[in-house]
Amino acid sequence: MNIGEAVKIIQKQYPSVSISRIRFLEKEGLIKPKRSNGGTREFSSKDIERILKILNLQEDQFYSLKAIKNNSALISNNSIKNIKIQEYSKHDALKKSGISLVNYNNLIEYNFEKDKELFSQNDVDRLSSFAYFYNLGLSAKNFTLIKSLSDRGLGFFEIIKNNVDINENDYKLAVSNFSNIIRSYILEES
């Protein structure tokens, strides 16, 4: 696959990745995609896996590029330990989620987000999802249906909170099951 196709696959996990960032990783010697006779980069699934590993080390485990370059065992090591970040600054949350400041401000304008300086992992995950839809070509005004569904879902969970003795872990499980039901109906209809 060419570099554009590779970036689209990688952006599913790391929305902020761009073609120039992949080229930079190549320039730094961390990846070596094959070239066609015409000189076009051709990425294999192993190249994609390697790029994802490098991005995991940089963005999720906070290794510097220099540390990754100087310690090849980091890339070949299959045990990934994920560090749980409790709070992100606005800058870090936007960078990690891959959403631009313009799109974030659009979400604020349409009341999908509130302007704040500290973000949780849940906030970053939500912003990553918005970034995914922005990358598909949608805009904030297209998200009103999602907000409506979310508001109705909140009503459903208010019923659960008021009528069932439920702890935090069970509440998270209920949200996950609710999401699975919605997902299954959407996939069944498409």
Digit-coded pLDDT (tens) for 21-71? 999 999 999 999 999 999 999 999 999 999 999 998 888 777 888 888 888
- Distances in whole angstroms, Cα of residue 29 to Cα of each of 9, 33, 46, 75: 21, 10, 15, 13
Digit-coded pLDDT (tens) for 80-108? 555 567 789 999 899 889 899 999 999 99
Residue with tokens 């299954």: 184
- Distances in whole angstroms, Cα of residue 8 to Cα of each of 58, 59, 96, 142: 19, 18, 16, 21
The rounded distance, in Å, linking the Cα atoms of 121 and 143 is 21
Highest mean pLDDT among 36-45, 68-77, 136-145: 36-45
The rounded distance, in Å, linking the Cα atoms of 107 and 115 is 9
pTM for the predicted model, two decimal places? 0.60
Q: Which run of H or E residues covers position 84? A: none
The rounded distance, in Å, linking the Cα atoms of 92 and 12 is 18
DSSP single-letter state for residue 83 = P
The rounded distance, in Å, linking the Cα atoms of 75 and 73 is 5
